[in-house]
Every structure is written in C-alpha cells, then in structure tokens.
Amino acid sequence: MVQAFRHVALIGRHESEGVRTTLLEIAEMISERGAEVLIEAQTAQSIGSQRFTAASMARIAREADLAISIGGDGTMLGVARSLAASRVQLVGINHGRLGFITDISLADWRSALSAILDGVYDAEDRTLLSARAMRDGTEIWHDICLNDVVVSRSSRSGMIELQVDVDGVYMYNQRADGLIVATPTGSTAYALSANGPILHPELAGIVLVPVAPQALSNRPIALPDNVEVRIKVIEASEPRVSCDMQVFGDLQVGDEIVVRRAPFTCRFLHPKNHNHYATLRSKLNWHELPILQRPD
C-alpha cells in the first residue's frame, strides 16, 4: 500500500470528554499503516500515553506532512494559525458542536481518514488574513487569522467609532459595537451572526461586517482579497482587536489596525466528493421545513 503521508501529527481538544479514546484509536490506526505519529505535547501530556512521540508545534511544523485536529472549530482554528505558514496540510475530525471546518464526523472518521491516508481526498486552499496594530507608525501587535479580525469596544463601554480606508481611499466613519473583517471561511462564523453574507471558500474576497451599527443604512460589503483595509480608532473606551478570538486589549484612540491577505494559505483535506453546499444545509438546517403555527 502506498502511503500518501509518512509523518502525521495529532492535536486534540484534550479537555473534552472522550477525546482521549478517539485520539489513541486514530494514532494506533496511523501507526499500523507504517506512518510516524507525532502527538502535540500538551495533548500527549493530557491523554497520558507514552507510546507515541510527543512534539511541540514547532517540531510538527517542521516534520509533519499532515496534521489531524480532533475537536471543534476552535481547535482547528488554532492548529491552522500555528501550521499554515509551514504548509502542513490539515484534516478536521469534529469532536465539538457545530463543526463547520471540522467536517469529518466521529462516526465516519475511520473510513474517511483511511481514504485520505491512501491519497484519496479533495484539497482546498483557504485564505488567511494578517493584521497589525500601528501606533504613531510603530507596530505594537500583529497576528494572523483564518476566520476574522474584529475591532470592538469592551463589554463595559459604549459604542466605538472607527474610520475605515481601503487601499488608501476613505470609505466611511461608523459608530457601532465593532467591525468584523472576515475571510470566506469566517463568513459562516461571527460575521454570519451579525447578518453578513456567506462567501464560498473559493471566492477571492473578504467581507466587512459592522456589529450593531448606529446607522441602520451601514451594511456589510464584500471586497477583493488583495486590498489593504486600514481601521483607525477615532473614539472608544477600552478598544480591542482580536484575530480568531485571540484578543489584544491594549488599543488606544488613534491606533490603526492594518488588515491584508496573508502571504500563504491553509490547505484543508476533505473526504472525496466533499460538498460545501451539503455542509451549509446540514450546519444551518436549510433542509428543515419551517414550523407552521396554527391560529388559536
């Protein structure tokens, strides 16, 4: 049997009940097929197994051909952020709740993963964003994200006022609870809950979605993904910026957040004939008929 991957890393949401059993079963199956198994160090410590090699994320980035995330979408986001620049390919097994980007169910992991390890899969490259916070021309923070960059107020303060420029051209000032800059992957996350549009993962675009804007005419807008979005904090109490929920809370009035497409993508591997529309139907319950209420 020809192995498509020789070095496979496992990263689990180790605090979740039942992950240990699933992770060890996956590790045994991969090992039996002749591939080296690397288990992320914290995950290895949590599950208490010394049979397989524990490895830092830095080592996984250097050595792994494939990384398998066992958990929810949050676990997959963290794995993607850590490994995307190294071009390690990713597979997500859903051990969480919704599972938009962890698309292999627990019930199907054995057959789906066997096929992927044999080289039978669909590959998909996902856009990431790079964000920098600038203060008086000096960078004070930077990060990358797979889902979204969010500039927002704290939970204890009023609205935040932001000035938005795209490629150096003034777009608008707005007062709102915040502003989301989302990738196509992130368009089904926080941006969707703020009434943003769903972008297909293959679209070369990003979307700006205001959160509870004061002006009801301020609507989401889709932009090409090769633009630079510059967001300046005009007025706020305790403003903050986050990348995939990783929060930097030391923003000040006058700071600028510069958002661009990252110089690399993240490659997801799916079971053969993966269907994005089927995922949307399933996760958003599009297949369910509305419940009709009878008049009393």
Catalytic residue numbers?
73
Instruction: Give the separation between CA 9 and CA 90, rounded to whole angstroms.
Output: 10
Q: Are 12 and 75 in contact (CB under 8 A)?
A: yes
Instruction: Give the separation between CA 246 and CA 254, rounded to whole angstroms.
Output: 21
Nearest to 222 by CA among 205, 202, 235: 205
Which two three-digit tokens encode residue 275?
């269907």
Classified as helix, coil or strand, 113 is helix
Alpha helix positions (H), 7-97: 19-32, 41-47, 57-63, 73-83
In one-letter notation, the amino acid at residue 33 is R
Q: What is the DSSP letter of 216?
A: T
Q: Which residues sit opposite 170 in a β-bridge?
A: 165
Could you give the count of Cα atoms lying within 13 Å of 287 in the half-sphere of its Cβ?
Answer: 7
Which two three-digit tokens encode residue 41?
């160090």
Instruction: Give the separation between CA 191 and CA 151, rounded to whole angstroms.
Output: 12
Exposed (0-12), middle (13-18) or buried (19+): which is 254, by Cβ within 10 Å?
exposed
Q: What is the DSSP letter of 107?
A: G
Which two three-digit tokens encode residue 93?
């097994």
Q: Are 137 and 121 in contact (CB under 8 A)?
A: no
Which two three-digit tokens encode residue 206?
């990003």
